[in-house]
Amino acid sequence: MHSPAIPTGSSPIAAAASLQQNVAGDSNTGQQPHQSAYVAKDEFTLSQAMRADQAGGGIGQLEDHYKTFITEKDIAQIAGSGLNFLRIPIPFWAIETYEGEPYLEKTAWTYLLKALGWARKYGLRVCLDLHAVPGSQNGYNHSGKLAGPNFMVSNMGLANAERTLYYIRVLTEFISQPEYRELVPIFGIVNEALINSIGLDQMTSFYLRAHTMIREITGTGKGNGPFIAIHNGLIPGSSWDDFLAGSDRIMMDQHPYFAFGGQNTNPIATDASDMKPGGTWPAQACRTWGSETDRSRATFGFTIAGEFSSAPNDCGLFINGVPGGTSNPQCPEYLDYQNYNSSMKQGLRNFLAASADSFGDWFYWTWKIDPDIDGKISAPTWSYQLGLENGWIDLDPRGYKGECAELQIATSSMFDGTYQPWQLGVQTSSIAQSSSVEFPWPPTTISSVDVPMALLPTYTTTGSVITMAPETFTGAPSRVTGGVDGWFDDNDKEGGVVRQQLSLDSKIHNLLRHTKRARSKINDYLGKKTKKRHTSFNNEFQRLV
């Protein structure tokens, strides 16, 4: 296996192991299909329900999941399965929460440290993925809250983005320490930001600011901090062509699924043109994903599949959220994994092999899935572990290479195998100065706001900085552990984000954020103030709206 720190497009680089516990598969509780005693549509409502259930253990019940879901045995099995990377999603509440956020604060960090230790022990590297950010970057359940998005969108969008940049900074400082930078060579800074809601220019402004901040901490060039992975935002890959040329080691993360692209009932247990099971699915994977991945490497740079699965459809518990459901008539066949015949298993295997060969570098979503209350895995085609145990996933994934060629599927030849020096970190980063003019921070506009940008709530960096604690080792001498303090760059002395004092009376400004719909409330409040204040505010209100 090649070094996964510099993907070559020739070998698989991972399985995605879940540490978050989302109602649907990550270290939040988002796309991890499992059944629970609580009916919750996302981790926000799950956390609320658990906090209300003090008799049952309160919010601490979530830690029972952390303790048992991913263990050292899982990491050993991943390493023994021919995989060499983990993608570990974490939520912002692994760092801290604010008032009104019901999540279990900081506990996920403890279990991330355990996973990092196990990964080091078994020779695996890690892609750390910030999977849920303040305000929600997409409004999906795996972002923590099924509402919004309110990151880079709406009245709190800018403040939530500032808070997210702060958490990216805190995580960058941690993983850039010498003890972790070889272990965590990829950092996914925002998972699946919804570009159609946020805007590509606005998200580019955010990514440019994040890139500048990260490289100010780590320095530029190979070995100085992680590759920065950004997601394609669920828009065509061509939208990202020539993105921030001259940047230092930015990687494109795509999440290719047929499962969410509409109902397709082509059978998978029938022979394809090569007389092997898989039906039309292996060829479809090669044609659709192989050419697009190759084109992205030629026009953007490093490109990986940060998520994909063996599932050609959405059959599975909570795959479409809670309560979810599907109308696909094939679901009884796909869910009955205990009775798959050899053609079904081989068909799934060939589809997975063609998909993996198309991507070259990939992470599978997900390593394992909790059993339901009947003891069965209710989304079998999403579990790498179950596929290994039951014969539709190979023990050695290197055997997937060449699958598309065997099907005689011609893919794009745009990429000649050569990356630009700045994409490899062997040349000093040199983003054109015009990019900062074209994509300023903060952006000149964001969508769905009710007042001018200058009056949007923001944070100041005047608070105490959060430093994430490293793993402790009882009895280890200080000369061994003394240098690991959670903060890499001693020159980074900027404060932590805190709420900024508003330019107007704070109560007035908070009401003003809701604009005309709140006029009656504003006037009720102003009626208690002096006539001078009332006149002053009315003039300001009319100027703004």
Quick check: helix, strand or coil at residue 129?
Answer: strand
* In 70-198, alpha helices (H): 72-80, 107-121, 157-175, 195-198
Helix (H) or strand (E) holding 227: strand 227-231
* Token pair listed for 448: 């769905």
CA angle 38, 40, 45 (to 5 degrees): 110
Cβ neighbors of 67 (< 8 A, separation 6 or more) are 111
Q: Is 131 helix (H, G, I), strand (E, B) or coil?
A: strand
The answer to whether the CB of 372 falls within 8 A of the CB of 419 is no
User: What distances in angstroms separate CA 185 from CA 74, 141, 222, one per listed residue?
Assistant: 21, 27, 10
H or E stretch including 404? Answer: helix 403-406
Looking at residue 510, its pLDDT comes to 56
Q: What is the pLDDT of residue 519?
A: 56
pLDDT score for 13:
47
Collapsing DSSP to helix, strand or coil, 423 comes out as helix
Output the average pLDDT for the chain: 87
pLDDT on residue 276: 84
d(CA 536, CA 505): 12
pLDDT tens sequence across 122-163: 999 999 999 999 999 999 999 999 998 999 999 999 999 999
Residue 414's pLDDT is what? 86
Architecture of domain 14-424: Alpha-Beta Barrel (3.20)
Which of 68, 47, 67 has the alpha carbon at shortest distance from 58?
A: 47
Comparing 270-279, 335-344, 353-362, 439-448, the range with the smallest average pLDDT is: 270-279
Q: Which amino acid is at 428?
A: T
Question: Is the model's pLDDT at 515 over the cut of 70?
Answer: no
- Whether pLDDT at 475 is above 90: no
pLDDT for 513: 52
Least confident of 72-76, 214-218, 474-478: 474-478
Indicate whether 373 pLDDT > 80.
yes
Residues 17-58 pLDDT 10s: 443 433 333 345 554 555 455 678 999 999 999 999 999 999
Residue 471 has pLDDT above 80, yes or no: yes
Pairing of the two strands 28-29 and 14-16: unpaired
Residue range 80-105: average pLDDT? Answer: 97
Distance CA 168, CA 189 (A): 7
At residue 305, φ and ψ (nearest 5 deg) are -100, 100
CA distance 206 to 200: 10
Residues with Cβ within 8 Å of 1's Cβ and at least 6 positions away in sequence, in order, are 11, 84, 398
* Overall average pLDDT of the 221-228 stretch: 96
- The helix (H) or strand (E) run that includes residue 459 is strand 459-463
390 CB contacts (<8 Å, ≥6 apart)?
Answer: 337, 340, 345, 380
| DSSP letters for 299-317 | HTS-EEES---S-SS--ST
- Both structure tokens of 76: 């050993």
Nearest of 406, 404, 380 to residue 393 by alpha carbon = 380
Outline where 319-341 has alpha helix (H). 331-335
- Residue among 59, 64, 133, 62 nearest 92 (CA): 133
Q: Is 526 helix (H, G, I), strand (E, B) or coil?
A: helix
State residue 21's pLDDT score.
37
Task: Write out the residue limits of the CATH 3.20.20.80 domain(s) in the chain.
Answer: 14-424
Contact 88, 46 (CB under 8 A): no
The per-residue pLDDT for 8 is: 35
Closest CA to 75 of 28, 125, 13, 119: 119
Reading the block at residue 251, the tokens are: 């990687």
- Which residues, 6 or more positions from 107, have their beta carbon under 8 angstroms from its beta carbon? 62, 63, 66, 94
Give yes or no for a contact between 216 and 175, defined as CB atoms under 8 angstroms apart.
no
Task: Name 125's bridge partners.
Answer: 85
Least confident of 77-86, 135-144, 518-527: 518-527
How confident is residue 430, by pLDDT bands cut at 50, 70 and 90? confident
Closest CA to 30 of 142, 132, 129: 142
Label residues 30-51 b or e (16+ Cβ within 10 Å = b).
bbbbbebebebbbbbbbbbbbe
Q: Kindly tell me if the per-residue pLDDT of 5 is higher than 80.
A: no
With H, G, I as helix, E, B as strand and everything else as coil, classify residue 251. Answer: strand
pLDDT > 90? residue 508: no
Q: What DSSP state is assigned to residue 56?
A: T
What pLDDT, on the 0 to 100 scale, is given for residue 19?
A: 39
Query: How much is the pLDDT for 509?
Result: 57
Chain-centroid distance of CA 30 in Å reads: 11
Distance between CA atoms of 366 and 378, rounded to whole angstroms? Answer: 13
User: What is the structure's pLDDT at 263?
Assistant: 72
